[in-house]
C-alpha cells in the first residue's frame, strides 16, 4: 500500500515543520490519539534522517526522537 497526503496543510507529503521534520504521508493506519491517522515522518537534520511515525495532530510541531529529544514515534 502506498502513502498519500492527508486533508490538511501540515499532513501533505513534503510538508516541513519548523523543526526540520518532513511528512511522508499516511497509509490510513490509526494513530494513538483519538480519531487520528499516523503519518510517516523523516528528520532532515544533517547526519540523522530517522524515519518514525507521528499522529496527524502532531506533525506541525514534531521533534525527532533521535536527535531532538522528541517523543517516541507511533506505528505507521
Distance (Å, whole) CA 58 – CA 60: 6
Distance (Å, whole) CA 28 – CA 21: 20
What is the pLDDT, as a whole number, of residue 74? 97
In the chain, where the domains are located = 1-76
pLDDT digits (tens, 9 = 90+) for 42-56: 999 999 999 999 999
pLDDT at 1 over 90: no
pLDDT digits (tens, 9 = 90+) for 24-41: 999 999 999 999 999 999
Residues 24, 40: contact at Cβ < 8 Å?
yes
What is the pLDDT, as a whole number, of residue 9? 97
- Segment 3-10 shows an average pLDDT of 97
What is the pLDDT, as a whole number, of residue 71? 95
Amino acid at each position: 500500500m502506498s502513502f498519500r497526503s492527508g486533508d490538511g496543510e501540515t499532513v501533505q507529503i513534503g510538508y516541513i515543520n519548523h523543526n526540520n521534520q518532513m511528512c511522508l504521508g499516511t497509509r490510513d493506519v490509526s494513530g494513538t490519539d483519538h480519531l487520528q491517522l499516523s503519518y510517516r515522518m523523516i528528520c532532515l537534520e544533517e547526519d540523522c534522517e530517522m524515519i518514525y511515525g507521528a499522529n496527524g495532530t502532531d506533525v506541525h510541531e514534531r521533534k525527532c526522537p533521535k536527535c531532538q529529544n522528541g517523543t517516541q514515534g507511533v506505528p505507521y
